[in-house]
Amino acid sequence: MIELNCARQVLSAEYQEMFDNIVYHRVLGASKHINMIGEMIESIVLDGGENNIPVNAIVDDILTVSHFFKETRGQASQAISNAINIMIKDLEYARNLETKDAVEFILRGKDNYLKGASQALDQVVEYSVEVAKNMKRIMVFDYSSTVDRFLENLEGQNGLTVYIPESRSIDGGHAFVRTCLQIGHQVKFIPDAAIMYFLKECEAAFMGAETFFPDGTMFNTTGSDIVGLVCKEFNVPLYVLTPLIKVDIRSIYGYQKVLVENDLTHKLAAHWHMDEQEKTDFICPELLGVDAKYITAYITERGIIPSHQIFNVSLEYYNELKGER
């Protein structure tokens, strides 16, 4: 596994800060992280071109950063790995080119992916807004840059109240509050322990996904499973907003997702006495699976797909990524 410092040191100071923002969860959302990784790749390429760095060194530095994020963030979100693989597809070919041509080749591959990803995100948001356009009370859980865009595009929907649980394990709810207040939505901010009580008042719940399996299982921040369970109990539709790039196809070959755990000492007990902290276990899963039976539909760039029908769409999309039809 590539060590953090080995990956970090190939970047300039500006992009080291961006690197840290991902590693230390200062910026949230898989889609945002993908864009930031794309910017890091671009910085390595442009710096290499300007300073006449050998192409092999440029390629090696890109691979170092790419592999680090695939081995870390990619363990939680398959979208990270999928996107990186597309951005650096055919990267080895660049070793055969002159520096100027290699720079253009690498940047074109990265830009083509990001352009397609932006178009897919726009489509997801458009479909999501159509679903919610007549609603007056909705709940959004955790943080997702896709859901954030959805909330922004509900601008002008007078009288909309957005219920936002705190999503305490990563403080994911706070970022939604800022967006909703800027747009003019009414905001109801609640402790995530009150999800069951307040979901009964909502017409639907919306959340993003770190990744999902073709069988309809979705993985997202701890607490997402509670939202799913309560939605099913009270017959409240639960929509998962996600571009198809987040599919993890490996599950159909027997892959079982590794549970990623975080130490929440400083989030949960920052004001505790040190001896109390040292004697208490604060380890908690970062992501949990939400079974397809709790999800009404996935809202993707290819439409609103009922969770029990996502399998064929996932396989078709994956085969297209590989160049197969």
When pLDDT is averaged across residues 203-217 and rounded to a whole number, the result is 95
pTM of the model: 0.80
Q: How much is the pLDDT for 255?
A: 84
User: What is the DSSP code string of 161-214?
Assistant: EEEEE--TTTTTHHHHHHHHHHHT-EEEEE-GGGHHHHHTT-SEEEE--SEE-T
String of b and e for 171-199 (b: at least 16 CB within 10 Å)?
ebbebbeebbeebebebbebebeebeebb
Domain layout of the chain by residue ranges: 4-120, 133-321
Q: How much is the pLDDT for 325?
A: 47
- Over residues 100-149, the pLDDT tens digits come to 999 999 999 999 988 998 999 999 999 999 999 999 999 999 888 899 99
- Over residues 224-256, the pLDDT tens digits come to 999 999 999 999 999 999 999 999 988 899 888
Q: How much is the pLDDT for 162?
A: 97
Q: What percent of the chain has pLDDT over 90?
A: 65
| Mean pLDDT, all residues of the chain | 91
Q: Where does the pLDDT of residue 181 fall: very low under 50, low under 70, confident under 90, or very high at 90 and above? A: very high
When pLDDT is averaged across residues 12-38 and rounded to a whole number, the result is 89
Q: How much is the pLDDT for 74?
A: 80
When pLDDT is averaged across residues 166-181 and rounded to a whole number, the result is 84
Quick one: CATH architecture of 133-321? 3-Layer(aba) Sandwich (3.40)
